[in-house]
Structure 1
């Protein structure tokens, strides 16, 4: 295998992991928000509309206490790159958020930094979420 094929394979693998993570994250958010805390660690940080939360417990509390009811996320774009942390992945998502009972969808952007665990999965080290207005 030449270097170009190796890079394509690594890029394809990153994209597969990023898409699987995004699908899993938004499925949990839309169906079982309390379960999201398990995706974060004690050093994780969430910036949600400018507010900062640190650690899985604090982040889980914020996400479960959001003043929104049932919703449905749909990702329009998923971009990913390897992060400087060995085996880490930066994932940037843009998409739409439909709140139950609301006519109009909200546009959002979200960035995740995924860090590999010793068990072979990933946890969210950094998460930045913003609604897109305008």
Structure 2
């Protein structure tokens, strides 16, 4: 596998840029077998995941990534686990919210998101 840290960095940069500009652009990153947990609620399939992301009750969101941790995953498969921590600001809010997001990327003619877990971190 090529350098999983560089792949993770590029993926995270692209993902949050797309999330902030047009969440519909995230659809090619998911497959029908992909599963997301959004604040504890599981969602399966690219169509359902993107519908959830597009339906979120805010228009603009800016992510500030604090940390990215990666590890290779799944022996005999090109897969990467990525854990991201950071802050996000939505719409006109001035107080950032802390979040953690985990991705498992699997290679299949490029990488796709097999698992995605998102959770806000409340103090």
Q: How far apart in 1 are the matches of 2:22 and 2:105?
A: 20
Give 1 or 2 for the bigger CA radius of gyration. 1
Question: What's the secondary structure of 2:74's corresponding residue?
Answer: coil
- How many residues matched? 122
Aligned position for 2:120: 131
Please state which structure has a larger fraction of its residues in helix.
Answer: 1
Aligned position for 1:49: 39
TM-score scaled by structure 2?
A: 0.95
User: Is 1:32 equivalent to 2:9 in the alignment?
Assistant: no
**4+ long deviations beyond 4 Å:** none
Which has the higher relative contact order, 1 or 2, with Cα contacts under 8 A spaced 6 or more apart?
2
Aligned CA RMSD, in angstroms, stands at 1.2
Q: How far apart in 1 are the matches of 2:51 and 2:88?
A: 20
Aligned position for 1:92: 83
Aligned position for 1:115: 106
Deviation, structure 1 residue 100: 2.2
Deviation, structure 1 residue 69: 1.6
Question: What's the secondary structure of 1:123's corresponding residue?
Answer: strand
Q: How far apart in 2 are the matches of 1:68 and 1:39?
A: 21
**Runs of 5+ in structure 1 lacking a partner?**
1-9
Q: How far apart in 2 are the matches of 1:127 and 1:53?
A: 10
